[in-house]
Amino acid sequence: YLAFNESGQKLVGQAVPSVSPGNGAAYFNKIECFCFNQQPLDGKQQAQMPLIFYIEPDLPESIHTLTLSYTLYKLPPPTGS
């Protein structure tokens, strides 16, 4: 995946994955994923977002397609302590 912060301001995001159909999610395994960590992006910065996965070989024959999508949520700035 490729992310681009179009704003001029630094932001931190957290990606949340979704696998469809839902009953296929148990057969989709992420080994490395940008969704495991918060993702900081400076203003106008572009970044590659790593993803390494495999699909279990016992995926039911009734599932012909798995669709993976992500929603990137902007996190609020940290509060001073």
Smallest Cα–Cα separation from 27: which of 69, 50, 58? 58
Residue type, 69: S
Compute the radius of gyration of the chain from its Cα atoms. Answer: 16
Kindly report the pTM of this predicted structure. 0.84
The yes-or-no verdict on residue 71 having pLDDT over 90 is yes
Tens of pLDDT, residues 8-53: 999 999 999 999 999 999 999 999 999 999 999 999 999 999 999 9
User: For the chain, what are the domain ranges?
Assistant: 2-74
For residue 42, report the phi and psi dihedrals to the nearest 5 degrees. Answer: -70, 165
With a CB cutoff of 8 Å and minimum separation 6, the contacts of 48 are 1, 2
